[in-house]
């Protein structure tokens, strides 16, 4: 089943050759595992029309309809606004993760008094992940310092075997330079990571070593904006720096002081 338009969520495979320090070019494929997850994601998504933008389902699994509009009627946001918020369960909020800071933390703690921008990916990704992190960093640097301070970018690895806390810290430092709130990477067991991703509608597949020695990691490419355990807005890969900056400002301006 084709997606209604190019802005719908997608699952990507980012392979690389283990013997090479540089990632190989990205390719896209659909495996049986991925097909199952895409079917699950589409089942949790409602599209208003063939030209509508799709968005991930809520934690409760209810259909979500997103019109993709940037009009004041949709809240004035440039990302995809969700009429039914995506929620993090009590377990998701309380479970401990190993952070790139070297400490343990929780998703509840990371969004305490902050706008939490949640993204799932991996550091060996050759395209979408570094581009998204770079664009978020650039967008935040355009904002007043008080808004930067109240925004926390959280990168949850989909490749925990290789993405150790030190690896993620080094990688994220490429994108959060000069920001008062450094980006934080999180790792845990694949089961725990997949549980959180599933509850917020982000498709993930475990890393797979192919017969030719490449490593494939498939993951959704949306960034969710959480406040108080709920996300009513998400951005898809390819969102512009200006749109991130606009929406982060609007979300923080609308939140209680």
Give the mean pLDDT of 119-138. Answer: 95
- pLDDT-based confidence at residue 102 (cuts at 50, 70, 90): very high
| Angstrom distances, CA of residue 71 to CA of 76, 158, 243, 250 | 5, 34, 13, 14
The CATH code belonging to domain 11-254 is 3.40.30.10
Given a cut of 90, is residue 17 above it in pLDDT? no
* Region label for 102, one of left (φ > 0), alpha (ψ between -120 and 50) or beta (otherwise): left
Q: Where are the alpha helices (DSSP H) in 12-102?
A: 32-43, 90-94
Q: Which residues contact 173 (CB under 8 A, 6 or more apart)?
A: 182
- pLDDT-based confidence at residue 122 (cuts at 50, 70, 90): very high
Question: Mean pLDDT, the chain, as a whole number?
Answer: 76
Give the mean pLDDT of 50-69. Answer: 31
pLDDT tens digits for range 188-227: 999 999 999 999 999 888 888 888 887 878 889 999 999 9
Query: What is residue 63's predicted lDDT score, i.e. its pLDDT?
Result: 29
Contact of 99 with 165, CB cutoff 8 Å: yes
pTM of the shown model: 0.74
Given a cut of 70, is residue 34 above it in pLDDT? no
Given a cut of 90, is residue 31 above it in pLDDT? no
Q: How far apart are CA 96 and CA 108, in angstroms?
A: 10
């Amino acid at each position: 089943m084709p997606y209604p338009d190019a802005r719908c969520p997608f699952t990507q495979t980012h392979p690389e050759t283990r013997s090479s320090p540089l990632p190989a070019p990205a390719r896209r494929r659909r495996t049986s595992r991925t097909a199952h997850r895409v079917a699950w994601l589409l089942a949790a998504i409602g599209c208003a029309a063939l030209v509508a933008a799709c968005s991930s389902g809520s934690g409760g699994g209810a259909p979500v309809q997103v019109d993709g509009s940037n009009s004041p009627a949709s809240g004035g946001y440039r990302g995809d606004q969700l009429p039914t918020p995506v929620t993090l369960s009590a377990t998701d909020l309380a479970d401990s993760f190993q952070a790139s800071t070297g400490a343990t933390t929780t998703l509840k703690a990371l969004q305490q008094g902050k706008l939490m921008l949640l993204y799932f990916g991996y550091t060996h990704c050759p395209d979408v992940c570094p581009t998204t992190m770079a664009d978020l960093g650039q967008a935040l640097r355009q904002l007043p310092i008080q808004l930067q301070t109240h925004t926390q970018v959280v990168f949850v690895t989909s490749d925990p075997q290789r993405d150790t806390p030190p690896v993620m810290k080094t990688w994220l430092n490429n994108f959060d330079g000069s920001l008062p709130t450094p980006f934080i990477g999180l790792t845990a067991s694949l089961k725990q990571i997949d549980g959180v991703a599933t509850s917020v509608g982000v498709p993930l597949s475990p890393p797979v070593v192919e017969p030719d020695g490449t490593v494939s990691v498939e993951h959704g490419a949306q960034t969710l904006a959480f406040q108080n355990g709920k996300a009513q807005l998400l951005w898809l890969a390819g969102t512009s720096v200006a749109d991130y900056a606009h929406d982060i400002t609007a979300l923080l301006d609308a939140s209680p002081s």
